[in-house]
Structure 1
Amino acid sequence: MDKTDCRHGRGLNGCDDCKVRLFSVCGVLEPAELDELDQLSHVKIFAPKTMLFDQDALAGSVFNVTEGIVRLYKSLPDGRRQIVGFALPGDFLGLALMDRYGMAAEAVTQVKVCRFARPAFVTYVDGKPHLLRRLHEFAGHELSLAQDQMLLLGRRTAEEKVAAFLLNLQTRYGRIGATSVTVPLPMSRQDIADYLGLTIETVSRTLTKLAKEKVLVVVPDGVRLLSVERLDQLAAA
């Protein structure tokens, strides 16, 4: 169960104090427009391992992630799951123009979102062409991530997949102002394996191999990259 459902964003600091506003879709809005958007929002906090929404559920809301990490996955007919991505702060979820969610979204860490009722949000966007353009940019970014995922699941070795995953994650953290040689990995090794189409044993073995080769150091909260050049070589293969 989610911990909080606050009527408006300002109930928990709101748009003015939002740490992700400048690199989220909201970054194109003027102060008066932010006030209007704020009136449509509900701030919700989800505990780890709770669902933001389920695959095939009616798509009644859209979500702007402001804190935490969300795993996005599809359930396969044989009962397995395929993780298709991880949403970071600044990412918008539920924007696809379908009546039902095409995937499930589950909190990895504690997650804070601004939730908008879909009909009200769509009506608001219709009157804001600059916001619509921004949303299209984000949709293009999501398509790019999907294409990256297809490449990751293609004919690549485990080392190449892990290297590409770490570099991509480092780039995404950098986009939200968290540039560092240490890449946080709050998701489990099983999550990473499901995302890369590998087994958990292969992911662990690959990280150990890269550590022995002094390409990275495994730390409690993630990995510290020692040789980005070597990872670049592997990811480009």
Structure 2
Amino acid sequence: MNMIAALNDKPAGKLPCTGCEDRDCPIRNSLGDAGLKRCAGAIRQISARPGERIEVSGYQPDTLFRVASGMLMQEHVLGDGRRHVSAFKTDGEIAWPLSNDSMGEIREFYEAVKPSDICVIFVNSVAEATSHPAELMESLYCAAKDEVARDQTRMLTLARSSAAERLAGFLVDLAGRTGRQTKRGVELKLNMRRERIADHLGMQPETISRIMSTFKKGGIIQLPRPTVVIIPNIRTLANIAYGAA
């Protein structure tokens, strides 16, 4: 699906923030209901089915994407066909696509890992509609800072960690963002395929499966289903991730 085509398709796009109860959204908090009405054309929401790919092209430099619900995989494809999964974005997280000037031969895609609603926001137009643009920019700056910190941690993990440490770090990070506390421990759903996790971590799918089996045998995780991971003690897994085990 082409992002711009979807945005221009009026029946496909939802009115901005219709029925949304997310009070943590920096856009909603900065604008208020009156501001949302004034910039109705600056925010659109589209839906994507699992496996549906969204090609990000033709957007303005001020565009950003916020996951209202679901999960998006951010993927970059080089001119020779090589691919890299750079991130998995989940509820409330913001993605800033590569600018057209910096992309060169790189094509950027988002793929829905599970049913997802994505808010497409044109920041300059939104800023003009709010009486508190400084607060809006501060909120977006904080979100960007958190994203940069996460990327720096991941780059360090990929550069200096073993395969087991990389996978443990991935599970700990995802558990902190999407995990659900249960009597057995933190329950984590892995909606993405093992191949995608391997691509994200710079590993082979077979290595992912082997390490998961090792973690299971050691009681570090439980695998009641292929797509469900239960972490009885998150600290134990974190110790592996940070080389303390």
TM-score higher than 0.5:
yes
In the alignment, which residue of structure 2 is the partner of 1:161?
Answer: 166
Cα separation, 2, equivalents of 1:210 and 1:43: 40
Give the partner amino acid of 1:53: E
User: For the Cα contact (< 8 Å) 2:14–2:46, is it kept in 1?
Assistant: no
Q: How many Å apart are 1:36 and its aligned residue?
A: 3.9
Using the alignment, how far apart are the partners of 1:204 and 1:122 within structure 2? 47
Q: Are 2:110 and 1:105 aligned?
A: yes
What is the DSSP-based 3-state SS (H/G/I as helix, E as strand, rest coil) of the residue aligned with 2:199?
A: helix
**1:67 corresponds to which residue?**
69
Q: How many residues align?
A: 225
- What is the correspondence of 1:28-177 to structure 2 with a 5 Å cutoff? 28-29=29-30, 30-37=32-39, 40-54=42-56, 57-60=57-60, 61-94=63-96, 98-99=99-100, 102=103, 103-117=108-122, 120-121=125-126, 123-124=128-129, 128-173=133-178
The Cα shift of 1:165 comes to 0.5
Contact 2:16 2:36 in 1 (8 A): no
What corresponds to 2:12 in structure 1? Answer: 5
Give a deviation string over 1:2-44, Cα, whole Å, max 9, x none. Answer: 796235135xxx1xx424x233323633443344455632221
**Distance in 2 between residues matched to 1:53 and 1:25, nearest whole Å:** 25
Match of 2:204 among 189, 192, 199: 199
Q: Distance in 1 between matches of 2:58 and 2:101?
A: 4
* Separation in structure 2 between the aligned mates of residue 213 and residue 113 of structure 1, nearest angstrom: 39
Letter of the aligned partner of 1:65 in structure 2? V
Q: Which residue of 2 aligns with 1:215?
A: 220
Once residues 171 and 37 of structure 1 are traced to their aligned partners in structure 2, the CA distance between those partners, rounded to angstroms, is 34
SS at match of 1:5: coil
Q: What pairs up with 1:4-23 in 2 under 5 angstroms?
A: 5-9=12-16, 14=18, 17-19=19-21, 21-23=22-24
Q: CA deviation at 1:47?
A: 1.6
Whether the aligned pair in 2 keeps the contact of 1:214 and 1:227 (CA below 8 Å) is: no
What TM-score, normalized by structure 2, do the two folds share? 0.80
Tell me, in whole angstroms, the C-alpha distance in 2 between the residues paired with 1:139 and 1:233: 27
Mean Cα deviation higher: 75-84 or 203-212: 75-84
CA distance in 2, matches of 1:82, 1:126: 40
Q: Is the 8 A contact 2:35 2:129 kept in 1?
A: no
Overall identity of the aligned pairs, in %: 24
Amino acid across the alignment from 1:113: I
Q: Note if contact 1:70-1:107 (Cα within 8 Å) is conserved in structure 2.
A: yes
- Structure 2: stretches of 5+ with no match in the other structure: none
- Relative to structure 1, is the Cα distance of residues 210 and 202 closer, same or farther in structure 2, using a 3 angstrom cutoff? same
CA distance in 1, matches of 2:59, 2:40: 21
CA distance in 2, matches of 1:136, 1:125: 17
- Residues in 2 aligned to 1:161 and 1:189: alpha-carbon distance in whole angstroms: 14
Q: Distance in 1 between matches of 2:112 and 2:64?
A: 15
User: Does structure 2 retain, via aligned residues, the 8 Å contact 1:59–1:94?
Assistant: no
Which amino acid in 2 is paired with 1:218?
A: L
Name the CA shift for 1:202/1:94 in 2 (closer, same or farther; >3 Å): same
Kindly report the root-mean-square deviation, in angstroms, between the aligned alpha carbons of the 2 structures: 2.7
**For residues 7 and 24 of structure 1, do their structure 2 counterparts lie closer, same or farther at Cα, with a shift above 3 Å needed?**
closer
SS at 2:222 equivalent: strand
For 1:127 and 1:51, how far apart are their aligned partners in 2?
Answer: 35
